[in-house]
Each structure stands twice: as structure tokens, then as C-alpha cells.
Amino acid sequence: PLSAVNKARCHEFGQTVMAQAQALAKEFNESTRNILMQAGLLTVGGHSSGLANDYRCWHAAEYPKEAD
């Protein structure tokens, strides 16, 4: 676990990154989200997430098909 000092430094880093992303977003007339995504600092969830898919994955792992 991080110490309180290191947590504060991480928080400061996040604040700096967000401020720079917001400045670029304003300059490029883009969303902050798009800037963070292009910088590789934001992931976009794919179609793989969802309760139905989680259940299918769990079921397949718990009850594998028997080999012929």
C-alpha cells in the first residue's frame, strides 16, 4: 500500500494530467475524454462487459463441455 505522502503525489500527478488534458481539449476543440483516450490514459469498454456475458463465461468455466 502507498503511504499518505505517495498517495498525495499520485493525486497531484492526476491533477496535473487532467489540467493538461483540459488545456489540449480546449485548444483542439475536442473533449477531454477524447484527449485522454488518444494519449492512452483512458480505456474504452468493449462489448465484452455485461451481466449476460459474465454469466456465460462463469457457466462455461464451471461446467465445461465434455470432450468426445
Specify the pTM: 0.61
Q: Is residue 67 part of a domain?
A: no
Cβ neighbors of 22 (< 8 A, separation 6 or more) are 32
Q: Is residue 39 part of a domain?
A: yes
* Count of the separate structural domains present in the chain: 1
Largest CA distance in the chain: 61
In angstroms, the CA 46 to CA 68 distance is 34
- The reported pLDDT for the residue numbered 26 is 98
Which residues form the domain of 58? 4-62
Q: Is residue 10 part of a domain?
A: yes
Q: Is residue 38 part of a domain?
A: yes
Cell of 23: 488545456
Question: pLDDT tens, 12-36?
Answer: 999 999 999 999 999 999 999 999 9
Cell of 17: 494530467
Q: Does residue 48 carry a pLDDT above 80?
A: no
C-alpha torsion 5→38→42→21, nearest 10:
40
Q: Is residue 68 part of a domain?
A: no
